[in-house]
Amino acid sequence: MANQEDIFKKVISHAKEYGYVAQSSEIYDGLSAVYDYLQNGAELKKNIREYWWQAMVQLHENIVGIDAAIFMHPTTWKASGHVDAFNDPLIDNKDSKKRYRADVLVEDHVAKIEAKIEKEVAKAAKRFGDAFDEAQFRSTNTRVMDYQEKADTIIKRLARSLEKEDLEDVKNLILELEIVCPVSGSKNWTDVKQFNLMFGTKLGASAESAMDLYLRPETAQGIFVNFLNVQKSGRMKIPFGIAQIGKAFRNEIVARQFIFRMREFEQMEMQFFIRPGTQKEWYESWKETRMKWHLSLGMGEDNYRFHDHEKLAHYADAAADIEFRFPFGFKELEGIHSRTDFDLGSHEKYSGKKLQYFDPELEESYVPYVIETSIGLDRMFLAVLAHSLVDEELDNGSTRTVLKIPAVLAPTKAAVLPLVKKDGLPEIAHQIIDDLRLDFNVTYDDKDAVGRRYRRQDAAGTPFCITVDHQTLEDRTVTLRHRDSMEQKRLPIEELHTAIDREVGMRHWLKKIL
Ligand code: GAP
């Protein structure tokens, strides 16, 4: 079986070969942690965006969407805390001259301990077969318990040191754990320093009058500064939400793992404004709602888990991640944060403008509390792509590579294939396309034998192939082939639209989260 690193490499090369993702400015040897979405990638991204927007904005009467500018007044970032606190602790290895995030070095060390636990569990599961009680094993096996205690102690100490900004202790922890630089193999580390992640730029024509700006590191602040505009113009009553999808920029120190951690990326965020004191219930409710959205895509319940934050961001009183099983392990896909009244309260202070809501039931004004849901579009894209790519062994002993993207998100919904390039079959294929393209993204393919065309569409992630053959000339029926089951069904051309819509139509998928 291929190891995780090989699987991930395959995802990256498949993404390029099938027109999903390539490195930015590749002809100039690329730009680190910046990527371009190609023809299929742009479609998949658009469909994920749409699936999120419809679930959040269209299905919730009390949520509206906005599109704020990337540039914001610089005081925004003072008020939000990003100028002072949006830092990562970095450490350099003096021998390799490589720079790392100190917390990531420690977390990677812990991940290795956790991998040992999983190995012990897998071994025991094999030994005991059906009689295996995993929970009991984890809580009684001394080796597993020792590993777990070790991992927990390290993570707690890291969280405590970061919380207290005790960077000396973070370095001590790295030295005590004997963590070596993956490149030089040495323990010759510098001190740990804080590094601000925001990209700076300038607005204005002349050097004297130019104003220092930042590229936004999150979309959330565009929502907070528009809270009153939306509340008043939309006559919104609390509780209500404002959603937004847009680009964000972070000068990440550790930029690796393909599109998992990028310097330019896209976020899909929603701020839900609530009465102070109700944050616990809404926090739990949004955790559940968001998990339901993920599960509706059918990528396996076992591949998601919640992870409560040990170290809370400067704005939060509770926070959890929805983690997904990526090829390199469980990692954050989405964050759900109870942000209190930090942001609106702070913008009130810095702007001198009241950002309050008059609650007609309570007959009082207050600064609303906020629950935020924040998911990286690119990370969601990676989750979908990595989970969907499978090599399948077929009954006849051959293998096929198939991209089992949830049909609702697939870039192209159907490929129409005339069996031969003559006898009027291409003309019928084009007529079918002309009709279907009013609702679905469909493509035409007449190159190579039909079997090879099926394989090509499987690997590109197209859920349906429609084959036009000589029988079509006689009775106007075609073959509809299903990507995942490879089942083929003969049906009249007039029934194609309904058959495809049943599987790719957004309304059928969205129903699962109602
Ligand atoms: N407004 C809250 C916020 O920005 P975050 O946890 O820093 O919180 C939210 O980011 C989500 O944005 C993450 O769960 C992740 O999916 C995505 N994200 C953050 N940094 C990213 C990066 N450098 N590249 C790609 N996605 C990123």
Residues 293-309 have a mean pLDDT of 97
- Whether 218 has a binding-site annotation, put simply, is yes
Reported as a single tens digit per residue, the pLDDT across 416-425 is 999 999 999 9
CB 63, CB 270: distance < 8 Å: yes
Q: Which range has the top average pLDDT, 118-122, 392-396, 424-428?
A: 424-428
Residue 484, number of CB atoms within 10 A of its CB: 13
Residues 375-387 have a mean pLDDT of 98
- Per DSSP, helices labelled H in 338-424 are 342-351, 377-388
- Whether 490 has a binding-site annotation, put simply, is no
Domain ranges for the chain, please list them: 1-74+211-389, 412-513
Across 255-259, 363-367, 453-457, least confident range: 255-259
**Into which CATH architecture does domain 412-513 fall?**
3-Layer(aba) Sandwich (3.40)
Residue nearest to atom 22 of ligand 1 (CA): 261
Q: Give the distance (Å) from ligand 1 centre to CA of residue 68.
A: 18
Residue nearest to atom 9 of ligand 1 (CA): 374
- The one-character DSSP state at 71 is B
Query: What global pTM score does this model have?
Result: 0.90
Which structure tokens are listed for 358?
């008059």
Give the type of residue at 291.
Answer: M
Ligand 1 atom closest to residue 267's alpha carbon, by position in its atom list: 12
Residues 468-486 have a mean pLDDT of 98
- Whether 194 has a binding-site annotation, put simply, is no
As to burial, measured by CB atoms within 10 angstroms (0-12 exposed, 13-18 middle, 19+ buried), residue 52 is: buried
Residues 404-420 have a mean pLDDT of 98
Q: What is the pLDDT of residue 204?
A: 87
Identify the band that residue 85 occupies on the pLDDT scale cut at 50, 70 and 90.
confident
| Crossing angle of helices 102-128 and 142-163, rounded to 10° | 160
CB 489, CB 479: distance < 8 Å: yes
Q: Please name every residue paired with 411 in a beta bridge, in sequence order, or none if there are none.
A: none
Residue nearest to atom 7 of ligand 1 (CA): 218
CB 419, CB 469: distance < 8 Å: yes
Q: What is the pLDDT of residue 2?
A: 63
Distance separating alpha carbons of residues 269 and 372, to the nearest angstrom = 7
In angstroms and rounded to an integer, the radius of gyration of the C-alpha atoms of the chain is 26
Percentage of residues of the chain with pLDDT beyond 90: 92
Distance separating alpha carbons of residues 465 and 95, to the nearest angstrom = 55
Reported as a single tens digit per residue, the pLDDT across 199-242 is 999 998 887 788 889 999 999 999 999 999 999 999 999 999 99
Distance separating alpha carbons of residues 42 and 74, to the nearest angstrom = 31
Residue nearest to atom 25 of ligand 1 (CA): 261
CB 197, CB 217: distance < 8 Å: yes
Report strand pairing: 318-326 vs 329-340: antiparallel
Q: What is the pLDDT of residue 1?
A: 46
Residue nearest to atom 4 of ligand 1 (CA): 218
User: Which residues contact ligand 1 via a Cβ below 6 A?
Assistant: 218, 220, 250, 252, 261-262, 265, 267, 269, 332-335, 372, 374-376, 378-379
Ligand 1 atom closest to residue 335's alpha carbon, by position in its atom list: 14
Identify the residue whose tokens are 């089951």.
485
- Whether 273 has a binding-site annotation, put simply, is no
Q: Is the pLDDT of residue 407 over 50?
A: yes
Give the type of residue at 170.
Answer: V
Cα–Cα separations (whole angstroms), residue 7 to 10, 194, 368, 399, 457? 5, 34, 46, 16, 21
Distance separating alpha carbons of residues 296 and 184, to the nearest angstrom = 45
Q: Is the pLDDT of residue 253 over 90?
A: no
Distance separating alpha carbons of residues 151 and 116, to the nearest angstrom = 11
Distance separating alpha carbons of residues 95 and 189, to the nearest angstrom = 8
Reported as a single tens digit per residue, the pLDDT across 183-199 is 999 999 999 999 999 99
Q: Which of 456, 450, 463, 462 is nearest to 421 (CA)?
A: 450
Three-state DSSP state, 388:
helix
Reported as a single tens digit per residue, the pLDDT across 31-48 is 999 999 999 999 999 999
Which structure tokens are listed for 338?
């109870």
Q: Which of 467, 441, 435 is nearest to 453 (CA)?
A: 467
Query: To test the ligand 1 pocket, which listed residue (214, 218, 263) has its Cβ within 8 A of the most ligand atoms?
Result: 218
Reported as a single tens digit per residue, the pLDDT across 131-155 is 999 999 999 999 999 999 999 999 9
Q: Give the distance (Å) from ligand 1 centre to CA of residue 376.
A: 5
Q: Give the distance (Å) from ligand 1 centre to CA of residue 64.
A: 21
Residue 5, number of CB atoms within 10 A of its CB: 10
Q: Give the distance (Å) from ligand 1 centre to CA of residue 375.
A: 6
Query: To test the ligand 1 pocket, which listed residue (379, 380, 381, 385) has its Cβ within 8 A of the most ligand atoms?
Result: 379
- Whether 176 has a binding-site annotation, put simply, is no
Phi then psi dihedrals of residue 375, to 5 deg = -125, 140
Q: Please name every residue paired with 203 in a beta bridge, in sequence order, or none if there are none.
A: 211
Distance separating alpha carbons of residues 165 and 103, to the nearest angstrom = 12
- Whether 376 has a binding-site annotation, put simply, is yes
Residues 68-93 have a mean pLDDT of 95
Residue nearest to atom 17 of ligand 1 (CA): 376
Q: Give the distance (Å) from ligand 1 centre to CA of residue 321.
A: 10
Identify the residue whose tokens are 């936004």.
216
Residue nearest to atom 27 of ligand 1 (CA): 376
Q: Please name every residue paired with 335 in a beta bridge, in sequence order, or none if there are none.
A: 321, 374
- The one-character DSSP state at 130 is G
Q: Is the pLDDT of residue 310 over 80?
A: no
Strands (E), 125-263: 193-196, 200-203, 211-214, 240-249
Residue nearest to atom 12 of ligand 1 (CA): 376
Reported as a single tens digit per residue, the pLDDT across 87-114 is 999 999 999 999 999 999 999 999 999 9
CATH 3.30.930.10 fits 1-74+211-389, yes or no: yes
Which structure tokens are listed for 214?
């930042």
Give the type of residue at 136.
Answer: Q
Q: Give the distance (Å) from ligand 1 centre to CA of residue 228.
A: 25
Q: What is the dihedral of CA 405, 407, 412, 417, to 10 degrees?
A: 110
In Å, how far from its chain's centre is CA 278?
28
Distance separating alpha carbons of residues 488 and 490, to the nearest angstrom = 7
User: 360 preceded by cis ω (within 30°)?
Assistant: no
